[in-house]
Structure 1
Amino acid sequence: MKSESRKILLEKDLLATHNSLLRAQINPHLLFNTLNYIYNTVYKSSEEAAEVIMLLSEITHYSFKSTGSNETVSLKDEIVAIENLIKLNQIRFNNKLCIELILKGDFEGIKIIPLVLLTFVENIFKYANLSDRDFPVQIYVGLDNGSLSFYTINKIGRTHSMPHNNSKLGLVNVKNRLENQYKRQYDLTINNRDGIFSIDLNINLHEHNKVLYN
């Protein structure tokens, strides 16, 4: 038992070291200075292309800032990252994507573990049918008395009937992080049926914060 436990700990340490080395390969300061230079250069010839660079820079900056698995960030920052991702893709596809983002509630001062909602939205751009005006993609983020509701529904694209392995790993990672952080204070339902994919996530952030700070 002790030998097996030690092996698991060593594997976790190795994985953590590997991830740190991967992040160290890109110096964030250099990356953002380079993106800023490209933005200023491109802006002279194309404001739209420059906006794409700026949106990409903001999304990347948020991702770098949110590397800890258990740290929390502002829910507003996560939502801004989602908005930027939608804007970036709308520009890429000449504003022809059929996608609705619905926000309800006061998100001020609310904290959440990062990159959970953003990961779900990112998968939409990989696998959803984004061109059906009769069935637009819907993304809902609502907050009521400290309870967060996140819901998405979309038709699956014809060429993406089965999620890629990387997507499955991403969803497994999100589930593990939710379980580690919120335990019995959340509920996640994922449905994939008859060409329709939906995610329904609810987190009782009010109760979770009471446990943390009481």
Structure 2
Amino acid sequence: MHLKKEVIEKKMAQAKIAFLIAQINPHFLFNTLNYIYYTIVKDSPDNAESIMILSKLMRYSSDIENAEETILLVKEAEYVSWLMELYKIRLKQNFIMSFDASPQAKEWKIIPFLLITVAENILKHGLISDPRHPAILTIAQDNEGNLLITSLNKIKKAIDPSGLKSGLANLEERMRIFYDNQASLEYKANLEQNFELRIMIPKTFKT
């Protein structure tokens, strides 16, 4: 019994240490990124800006761990804007993507990483460097007050369309559970390598 108690106490101590490390690491990381930013900002402003944006993206991902079931859409829209800025810095004039969100749509609450998954799907699998075929991401309310999220982009030639479904399949399952089969996620890739996506969430889920 004495030995068993020692083992339990040891595991408890290890768990407490792991918890403390988990709490400290994000702060240490963000402080380090801030330090690097101020160290290089004069000599390399583009790289410094990339580091600051990366810090914002990681902070959001860290904060979302303690979020409620839903989060303000405007927060996810900010994340997408930061992500696009990162691509603009890297690709410069070769980054061709538009993102438009209506003020009414930004007031919505959605499940975490819904909009982010859509945006990352475009950035990962989409052709975002051709001005003839700009990637488009739009958020709006329809005439009935439902939330609509749509995207359109060319698919990279090297991408197998069947590989586009992994992240979206996870999102579709989460939407099915949370929105009780009342929301819809539809997407398709045609022979012209166009990828279209449409999400509709009923107005009853606005808050």
Question: Structure 2 vs 1, CA of residues 132 and 108 (structure 1 numbering), >3 Å: closer, same or farther?
Answer: closer
The equivalent residue for 1:185 is 182
Question: Structure 2 vs 1, CA of residues 202 and 108 (structure 1 numbering), >3 Å: closer, same or farther?
Answer: closer
What is the SS of the residue equivalent to 2:170? helix
Return 5+ residue gaps in structure 1 as ranges: 1-19
Return 5+ residue gaps in structure 2 as ranges: 1-17
Do structure 1's residue 96 and structure 2's residue 99 form an aligned pair?
no
- 8 Å contact from structure 2 (residues 105, 139) kept in 1: no
The equivalent residue for 1:59 is 57
What is the SS of the residue equivalent to 1:67? helix
- 8 Å contact from structure 1 (residues 63, 115) kept in 2: no
Relative to the length of structure 1, the TM-score reads 0.78
Flag the structure with larger Rg. Answer: 2
What is the SS of the residue equivalent to 1:152? strand
- 8 Å contact from structure 2 (residues 175, 181) kept in 1: no
1:75-133 Cα distance to aligned partner (Å, 9 max, x none): 11000001111111011001321111122232454211111111111121111111221
Q: Shift in Å at residue 162 of structure 1?
A: 3.7
Question: Structure 2 vs 1, CA of residues 85 and 26 (structure 1 numbering), >3 Å: closer, same or farther?
Answer: farther
What's the % identity of the aligned pairs? Answer: 34
Amino acid at match of 1:170: G
Amino acid at match of 1:208: F
- 8 Å contact from structure 2 (residues 175, 183) kept in 1: yes
The equivalent residue for 2:146 is 147
Count of residue pairs brought into register by the alignment = 187
Amino acid at match of 2:174: R
Question: Structure 2 vs 1, CA of residues 173 and 108 (structure 1 numbering), >3 Å: closer, same or farther?
Answer: closer
- 8 Å contact from structure 2 (residues 161, 189) kept in 1: no
Amino acid at match of 1:55: I
Amino acid at match of 2:169: V
Question: Structure 2 vs 1, CA of residues 47 and 202 (structure 1 numbering), >3 Å: closer, same or farther?
Answer: same
- 8 Å contact from structure 2 (residues 186, 197) kept in 1: yes
Q: Shift in Å at residue 25 of structure 1?
A: 9.8
What is the SS of the residue equivalent to 1:149? strand
Do structure 1's residue 169 and structure 2's residue 166 form an aligned pair?
yes
Aligned-pair Cα RMSD in Å: 2.6
What is the SS of the residue equivalent to 1:184? coil
Alignment of 1:116-135 (within 5 A): 116-135=114-133
Amino acid at match of 1:151: T
The equivalent residue for 1:41 is 39
Amino acid at match of 1:157: K
What is the SS of the residue equivalent to 1:66? helix
What is the SS of the residue equivalent to 2:50? helix
